[in-house]
Amino acid sequence: MANAIPDIVISRLPIYLQALSRLAKQGHKVTTSSQELGELLGISSAQIRKDLSHFGEFGKQGTGYHISYLHEQLQRILKLDQEWPVALIGAGFLGHALASYGGFRPRGFHVAWIFDSDPAKIGTEVGGVLVQDVAELEATIRRENVQIAIIAVPASAAQEITNRLVEAGITAILTYAPLTLAVPDQVHVQYSDPVVQLQRMTYYLER
Amino acid sequence: MANAIPDIVISRLPIYLQALSRLAKQGHKVTTSSQELGELLGISSAQIRKDLSHFGEFGKQGTGYHISYLHEQLQRILKLDQEWPVALIGAGFLGHALASYGGFRPRGFHVAWIFDSDPAKIGTEVGGVLVQDVAELEATIRRENVQIAIIAVPASAAQEITNRLVEAGITAILTYAPLTLAVPDQVHVQYSDPVVQLQRMTYYLER
DNA sequence: TTAAAATTGTGAAATGTTACACGAGCTGGC
DNA sequence: GCCAGCTCGTGTAACATTTCACAATTTTAA
């Protein structure tokens, strides 16, 4: 209990949440087991039990886990029992797709601000949100105390935008740009370059 | 030399490729070092050397690595010395963003086919590629011997599409749908659910 | 009421990954 | 030609993660 919880454990909790939502939506059952969750996710039951044990005892021997209770607890642990507003930088095709995505709100997030540098886009609405001039980036982030940003700008602009975001107080970044961002230690970054993801699989393919 | 190379090593090679491309584009220098690459990527130099040593000896003591040579070698190892055609399923906002993304071709991929089930979309062009009826999915994949697919359909359709893709011979899948896909062992899957990625960071934030 | 089956939480063992540290080779300056 | 400074590749140690396996508890069924 004393030690910090491994990052790799934290990174699996959202997946558990996903499986629990799915079971809850099906509505067949009230409880599930580490075994069933494991089969759904392709993870061993022991790993699921061990991961959860970092945070408390959520299950009952002989019965398993109460689906909605465990779901609530994981939401609480991940601080998803609130809705996080997200700043989106870039209103191109990808920014459009993200702004219009209906999957954020039911799972704890919503795109609250969109920024772009293109005068043709500034002032338009994308996914119901007004596109602002990127010049207002810092002022807005500071005023609204924004913590999370999504970067959907070209590679050439990504590091400069990152610097400005960090300087203004952002501490969590999801980036689609194809490069490694230089950030201070306290800033968390998740990378989502589709090409890198494809390149991680070709090694295993037959030509 | 006898053992299989760890997946985690393979998963880092695309990142090395990214850094090498960046150095090549800058054009200042002909060689780099594990130290420099590490600083660029936030990885220790020892790890980079050890990773590369799984595949051969690419460096020279005192000098480091020849940038373009190492780039070529990594491309060869990852089978990126050819261009892989990719099938994209789903022509919504996300499919549109992916089909229009210019970053695939220079890094070894291109979207060669797009499928959707919406009659209003079938027959239109997206990113220069004709949208086909998803009914033709299996026939096209078999005929063209497609190995890689990107899933950009709603969660509710993703598993069924996956089953059809796998049945038709796809062995690598990049999916944006928010669920874990059930696939046979020999099929590789990369997950890219933006919500999961955001949820992996909120644990560390202050409310 | 009792026995069998299910399932958790967890120490300990096994396995996997990263970091250290150093011999050896290459380069550049004098 | 020689030496100081770099830098690689790698064996080993340290650290991290996963798996095993079992006592304890609960449920189910007879």
d(CA A205, CA B188): 9
Q: Please report which confidence band the pLDDT of residue A41 belongs to, taking 50, 70 and 90 as the band edges.
A: very high
Is A42 in contact with B86 (Cβ distance < 8 A)?
Answer: no
The pLDDT of residue A145 is 98
A147 versus B27: the higher-pLDDT residue is A147
Is B202 in contact with A77 (Cβ distance < 8 A)?
Answer: no
- Residues (23-52, chain A) with CB within 7 Å of strand D atoms: 43-44, 46-47, 49-50
B53 touches strand D (CB under 7 A): yes
DSSP conformation letters of A177-190 = SSSPPP--TT-EEE
DSSP conformation letters of A87-143 = EEE--SHHHHHHHH-TTSGGGTEEEEEEEES-TTTTT-EETTEEEEEGGGHHHHHHH
Give CB contacts under 8 A, 24+ apart, made by B56-59: B59/B34
Is B200 in contact with A10 (Cβ distance < 8 A)?
Answer: yes
The pLDDT of residue B55 is 97
Radius of gyration of chain B (CA): 20
The pLDDT of residue A1 is 37
Write the pLDDT tens digit of every residue in A118-164.
999 999 999 999 999 999 999 999 999 999 999 999 999 999 999 99
Write the pLDDT tens digit of every residue in A45-73.
999 999 999 999 999 999 999 999 999 99
The pLDDT of residue B190 is 98
Write the pLDDT tens digit of every residue in A85-114.
999 999 999 999 999 999 999 999 999 999
- Residues (4-33, chain B) with CB within 7 Å of strand D atoms: 33
Radius of gyration of chain A (CA): 20
B42 touches strand D (CB under 7 A): no
d(CA B194, CA A101): 10
A127 min Cα distance to partner chain B (Å): 11
**What percentage of chain B carries pLDDT values higher than 90?**
97
Average pLDDT of the segment spanning B35-48: 98
What is the residue-averaged pLDDT of chain A?
Answer: 97
Residues of B in contact with A86 (CB under 8 A): 198
Least Cα distance to A134 among A177, A107, A163 occurs for: A163
**What percentage of chain B carries pLDDT values higher than 70?**
99
In sequence order, which residues have a C-beta less than 8 Å from that of residue B205 and are 6 or more positions away? A79, A84, A147, A148, A171, A172
Phi, psi at A38, each rounded to 5°: -60, -40
Q: A16 with A37: CB under 8 angstroms?
A: yes
d(CA A16, CA A37): 8
Q: Please report which confidence band the pLDDT of residue B27 belongs to, taking 50, 70 and 90 as the band edges.
A: confident
Nucleotides of C under 7 A from a protein CB: 5-11, 16-21, 23-27
**Distance, Å, B107 CA → D14 C1':** 38
Phi, psi at A122, each rounded to 5°: -60, 130
The pLDDT of residue B100 is 98
Write the pLDDT tens digit of every residue in B67-110.
999 999 999 999 999 999 999 999 999 999 999 999 999 999 99
Write the pLDDT tens digit of every residue in B185-200.
999 999 999 999 999 9
Write the pLDDT tens digit of every residue in A164-196.
999 999 999 999 999 999 999 999 999 999 999
